[in-house]
A and B are shown apart, each in its own frame.
Chain A
Amino acid sequence: MVVAEVMRRTWAMTWKDVRVELRARERMNAMLFFAALVLFIFNFALGPDLSKLREAAPGLLWLAFLFTGMLGLGRSFQAERENECFEELLLTPGDRESLYFGKLAGNILFMVMAEALILPLFAILYNLEIWAALPGLLLVAFLGTVGFSTIGTLLAAMTAHLRAREVMLPLLLFPLTVPVILGSVKATEALLSGGGLAEASHWVKLLCGFDVVFLVICPLAFEFVLEE
């Protein structure tokens, strides 16, 4: 009964965010244009040297993912800031975890959608053969996105009412997600070098571990963030 209630509230929260975004199209448009820009700029900056491009590729790919994700996270509480809808959510009875998981699901969804565009564009611009490594890359991208969004959703809620939120969010988020970033880049490097999932397995396990830890801690911390 309680689980059904939590699921219903979580779904309502995600549905609301998706519906608002489909109508406003502010977040996804900004994320997609920004992602394309980042990839083009890095491409121009590194020049036509293929070996140099391939060496830097895992890091560049994750920079594009993370900068784009950061842009999305910064706007994830925009609808709640308007008309003080946040206050209304505070006054809803019941658990706070469903608010968190609803927001998190929306953030992961938008980031995954952006990554779905970034990945093929990245392969074309950097002349990389990613098809063989694609299943592994998708797994690593998903695990990295979950880890990044899990902390990001919590921090986005924490900074939502700050005047300097655009500055504070990255300042808090990037140091805390260093293990996720490191694991994701290293696993991607192993996959792109042709090592397969076996070579990337210890980094994948590390990512899974961090995701589980963050998925336990962040919803608990979210209640304190909301109440205070």
Chain B
Amino acid sequence: MENRLAVEVEGLTKVFGATLALDAVDLRAARGEVVALLGPNGAGKTTLLKLLSTALKPTAGGGRILGEDLVKGRDLIRRKIGMISHNHHLYEELTAEENLRFAATMHGIRPDRDRIRKALAEVGLETQAGWKVRTYSTGMKRRLVIGKMLLFDPELLFLDEPHNTLDQAAIALLNGYVASVRARGGSAIVATHNLSRAYDMADRFVLMREGAVTRRIEKDRLMVDQLREMYTRYAENDDGDPGAASPARRAGGREPRVGVSEGTW
């Protein structure tokens, strides 16, 4: 039977040298769901995304991504996921078509010219396919990244601050792509500190601070203003949170986990 959970991890911990970057985080996301990780800079959102996407190995904890073991099944996971980051992961000196051909080959996909042309056409870059990426605007680069994702056709999408420096048209294209992944039964985990964008995209919200989850919120329970209020309280301030006294967590003197989790996800 197919696992209904796209993400199922427990106790994910990451230590860099003496710094505890992520402290025993549990997370679940069902297939077809979009989960937003919310928190200020340094909250551990990007580290969590890197662990979930197998770019980093956890110091402790584990789980399953799309039914595959997070550590032992890394290669299988990598075949099923896609990453869209504020850093667009494109080679500036290559053309758009060359970038897609290279990415496809490295992902074990046949770099079929028609398929690449079709992906470029879908994101409106067919006439600029031969341009060097260096000459592209930020919005065009983001469109090209979406074109790359169309080639990979991921079941689970990771987005790290995806709306940074994008104009309205590029934001609409990105949101439309995430919606299309979801419509096909795919899932997405979005790390952002932009609450309105997160509210538009996600079904659930995970508030984070200093490497720990401080609150989990279902969208149907609240309006965007309420989300903002909870964000201020649980992700930015220390209100009602005796475990979050220290700004810099050290691995040697690990502190108790912050906040309370609601529900089982």
A residues in contact (CB < 8 Å) with B = 5, 8-9, 12-13, 15-16, 19-20, 23-24, 79, 82-85, 87-94, 227-228
Contact = CB atoms under 8 A, between A and B. Distances in A.
Contacts of B57: 227-228
Contact of B107 (A16, A82, A93, A227): A93
Nearest to A85: B89
Contact of A87 (B79, B87, B98, B132): B87
A182 to B, nearest CB: 37
B30 to A, nearest CB: 23
Interface of B: 53-55, 57, 75-76, 78-79, 81, 83, 85, 87-94, 98, 102-103, 105-108, 132
Nearest to B83: A91
Chain B at the A interface: SS class: loop
A29 B123 CA distance: 37
Contact of A83 (B81, B89, B103, B108): B89
A85 B90 contact: yes
A214 B19 CA distance: 35
Contacts, number: 72
A92 B93 contact: no
Which label, helix, strand, loop or mixed, suits the secondary structure of the A interface? helix
Contacts of A9: 105-106, 108
Contacts of B108: 5, 9, 92-94
B94 A20 contact: yes
Contacts of B105: 8-9, 12
Given A91-B81, A93-B75, A93-B79, A16 B90 contact: no
Contacts of B91: 16, 20, 79, 82-83, 85
Given A84-B87, A89-B106, A93-B108, A19 B55 contact: no
A19 B83 contact: no
A77 B9 CA distance: 33
Nearest to B82: A91
Contacts of A92: 78, 106-108
Most chain A C-beta atoms within 10 Å of own C-beta, residue among B76, B94, B102? B102
Task: Output the residue of A5, A13, A85 with the most chain B CB within 10 A.
Answer: A85
Contacts of B89: 83-85, 87-88
